[in-house]
Amino acid sequence: MPTSKIDQLIANHTELATIALSALDWAESEIEQAVARHPHKRDQLFHSYLIMAPSAILFPVEFVYRGHFREILERVAAGKETRSGTAAEACCLLADVSKKTPFPSYGYGLYFRLWEKAFPDQEKLAPESRLNHYEALFGAKIDKWEGDIRKALSVEDRQLGAIICGGMHNSVAVDCVYARIQ
């Protein structure tokens, strides 16, 4: 345990740096997996690395980062808009809000829905019957709040701009479509 404010500051920054460096590895891993799912989008997915940075909301653990990266990459592969907040970002926001104020019933439904979207490989927060109950009672309100939160979490520059490629991906020569058009 750190004994001084300086030691604590160093410990905090070391932890942040460790998470940031790990996130770079997780992002590369998610890109590789996305390329395996969408090989025809290989070049675009590879060059999506820069738009995968999360918004200012802190992601505490690996599976949260991966959920965020996966959603951005799936949007890129599908040719969809990439600026709006991800389900992982929304879950982090809702988790923070839940510490400050109680959720209304539809708030739980929203959180459960977003969790399912962001982290399908993690343990469910509620049984399917409970999720269906929230959707049946509050589906329209949950839809609205999901749209509002994603819009509020939008990152305007989280979109692919002009891509410049020198024909190298991770120090490997490739036949990249973006290198050919220059």
Q: For residues 166 and 146, what is the distance between their CA atoms, to the nearest angstrom?
A: 40
Beta strands (DSSP E) in the chain are 168-169, 172-173
Residue 11 lies in a domain: yes
- Asked whether the predicted pLDDT for residue 11 surpasses 70, the reply is no
Strand-pair partners of 172: 169
Residue 157 lies in a domain: no
Residue 147 lies in a domain: no
Domain range enclosing 12:
1-78
- Asked whether the predicted pLDDT for residue 19 surpasses 60, the reply is yes
Average pLDDT over residues 97-118: 93
Residue 42 lies in a domain: yes
Tokens 């599908």: give the residue: 78
The pLDDT value recorded for residue 16 is 62
The pLDDT value recorded for residue 37 is 97
34 and 45 Cβ atoms separated by less than 8 Å: yes
What does the mean pLDDT of the chain come to? 88
Which DSSP helix (H) or strand (E) runs through 107?
helix 105-118
68 and 32 Cβ atoms separated by less than 8 Å: no
- Asked whether the predicted pLDDT for residue 1 surpasses 60, the reply is no
Strand-pair partners of 168: 173
Give me the number of domains the chain comprises.
1
- Asked whether the predicted pLDDT for residue 181 surpasses 80, the reply is no
Question: Higher-confidence residue: 171 or 148?
Answer: 148
Residue 63 lies in a domain: yes
Considering the entire predicted model, what is its pTM? 0.86
pLDDT class of 140 with cuts at 50, 70, 90: very high
- Asked whether the predicted pLDDT for residue 72 surpasses 60, the reply is yes
pLDDT class of 182 with cuts at 50, 70, 90: low
The pLDDT value recorded for residue 107 is 92
Residue 101 lies in a domain: no
Residue 29 lies in a domain: yes
For the segment 52-67, what is each residue's pLDDT rounded down to a tens digit? 988 777 677 899 999 9
The pLDDT value recorded for residue 41 is 96
